Amino acid sequence: MLTDPRPSHRLAGVWVVQRSLGVSLEPAVGMKWERVVGRIRWLADEDGDEAIRRRAGLVTHRVNAAMQGLGPRSSGVLSA
């Protein structure tokens, strides 16, 4: 979904990743997430659709916070 040419499918893919992170962000820093997180970061920086860049940016921020030892409540990004 993250590589689909249709913006709505890429946005849905980012949503799936966001929901998969759950309350605990620990899975996001595991090796199996490396490719997914890389793709999300690319979407945040490079996608042509603003909604996708914005959502992917939120997910990227959340993953970065997890990697720095912060929880989802500490980052405050996805609570809105």
Instruction: Give the pLDDT band of residue 54 (cuts 50, 70, 90).
Output: very high
Domain ranges of the chain: 7-72
Proportion of the chain above pLDDT 90, given as a percent = 49
Question: No. of H helices and E strands in the chain?
Answer: 4, 0
Which class for 79: exposed (0-12), middle (13-18), buried (19 or more C-beta within 10 A)? exposed
> Is pLDDT above 90 for 52?
yes
27-44 tens-digit pLDDT? 555 546 778 889 999 999
Region 53-72: what's the mean pLDDT?
82
